[in-house]
Amino acid sequence: MKQTALIIIAAIIALGLGMTVRHFFSDVNNATSPGVLPEFNLPDLSGRQHNISEWRGKIIVINFWATWCPPCRKEIPDFIDLQAQYADKGLQFIGIALEDREPVAEYAAATKINYPILLGGDNGIALAQQLGNSIGAVPYTIIVDRQGQIIDRHPGELSKQQIVDIVAPLLN
């Protein structure tokens, strides 16, 4: 019972933080200068290491998330739909989970996530900070063009339409 209450409290805090961040930093994307996506390696759910260079030449949407985060769980079905719709045009979603393997594996299987899920843990938190998440927002998403340039950074929840508006010009 206490563990459930703690999870609910953590989720409410994460939701509040996400909403606050979105409100106060809604113009961060426009003000943040583009940068080159750095090389990094993280394991997938089976323990196999992946280097971000595996997806070089694609439009990459990297989403830092956790199963205990309601805004994260809300946006994942849209990510699944967009991955299915635009994969053949070079769009690649990559989820970086900021928690332990077991809850992530259960959630990924239950929701039938169709894109790579990497386990970030503390390394994922440090990577998110390196990529501009100075306030520790969850979810946190970056979008990278085919040349490896970060073109958008977004603390908080992203809608399907927001993603389409950003990536559609890059798909041609």
Say which CATH number the domain at 135 has: 3.40.30.10
Question: Position of tokens 């969850």?
Answer: 138
Query: What does the pLDDT read at residue 14?
Result: 58
Q: What is the pLDDT of residues 15-46, one digit of tens each?
A: 555 554 444 443 333 334 569 999 999 999 99
Q: Give whole-number Cα distances, 7 to 72, 75, 92, in Å.
A: 15, 19, 31
Total number of domains in the chain: 1
**pTM (2 d.p.):** 0.81
9 vs 151 pLDDT, higher one: 151
Cα(61)–Cα(91) distance, integer angstroms: 8
Residue 65 has a pLDDT of 98
Domain that holds residue 156: 2-170
Q: Residue 84 to residues 12, 80, 93: CA-CA distances in angstroms?
A: 31, 6, 10
Q: What tens digit of pLDDT does each residue of 45-95 get? A: 999 999 999 999 999 999 999 999 999 999 999 999 999 999 999 999 999
pLDDT of residue 28: 39
Mean pLDDT of 104-109: 98
3 pLDDT above the threshold of 80: no
Query: How much of the chain exceeds pLDDT 70, in percent?
Result: 80
59, 82 Cβ separation under 8 angstroms: no
Mean pLDDT (the chain, rounded)? 88
